[in-house]
């Protein structure tokens, strides 16, 4: 299975790095516990990136790079979370609340990836990869390319 990740230049040189999520935390992980945020499609990866950028003009944005990653195909390597099974606050809660939802997996990764619904578009999924799972070493970077952004995206 292929997944996608977007990094700002110069961080695209290490597309499998979890330093950013380790340092800052995210919706699904607290600071000090790094995981790799990826998306099921390049379009969702772009939406997820744009929604988290500060209000900058297109000219002020750093160059964005799309990485295509290939996951090992073991059937048990991905756990798909059903949005109906998540707590009611998963989309609107504070980071402190949502960062505890996956505590068990964060502390003892029983699978390489957990597929979580996107807050932006609930029927689309992001995949969180755990770097401490044995299969993480088998994740391959298939390709990378700079993303030319259409000026209409930053009106």
Is the pLDDT assigned to residue 136 strictly greater than 90? yes
The tens digit of pLDDT for each residue in 17-74 reads 999 999 999 999 999 999 999 999 999 999 998 887 777 777 777 889 999 999 997 7
Share of the chain above pLDDT 90, in %: 66
What predicted TM-score, i.e. pTM, was given to this entire model? 0.91
Degrees (nearest 5) of the Cα angle 153, 154, 155?
105
| Domain residue limits, the chain | 2-148
Count of CB atoms within 10 A of residue 149's CB?
Answer: 14
Residue 133: alpha-carbon gap to chain centroid: 16
Q: What is the pLDDT of residue 94?
A: 77
Tokens of 11: 């961080």
Beta-strand pair 2-8/113-117: unpaired
Is the pLDDT assigned to residue 131 strictly greater than 60? yes
Cβ neighbours for 139, distance < 8 A, ≥ 6 positions apart:
16, 69, 70, 71, 72, 112, 129
pLDDT tier at 1 (50, 70, 90 boundaries)?
Answer: very high
pLDDT tier at 154 (50, 70, 90 boundaries)?
Answer: low
Higher local confidence (pLDDT), 12 or 127: 127
């Amino acid at each position: 299975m292929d997944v996608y990740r977007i990094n700002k230049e110069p961080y695209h040189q290490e597309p499998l790095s979890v330093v950013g999520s380790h340092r800052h935390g995210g919706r699904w992980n607290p600071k000090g516990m790094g995981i790799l945020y990826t998306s099921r499609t390049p379009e969702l990866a772009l939406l997820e990136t744009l929604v988290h950028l500060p209000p900058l003009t297109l000219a002020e944005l750093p160059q964005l790079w799309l990485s295509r990653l290939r996951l090992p195909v073991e059937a048990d390597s991905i756990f798909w979370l059903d949005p109906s099974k998540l707590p009611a606050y998963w989309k609107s809660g504070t980071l402190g609340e949502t960062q505890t939802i996956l505590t068990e997996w964060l502390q003892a990764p029983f699978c390489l990836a957990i597929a979580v619904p996107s807050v932006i578009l609930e029927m689309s999924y992001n995949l969180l990869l755990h770097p401490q799972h044995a299969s993480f070493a088998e994740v391959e970077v298939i390709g990378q390319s700079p993303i030319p952004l259409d000026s209409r995206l930053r009106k």
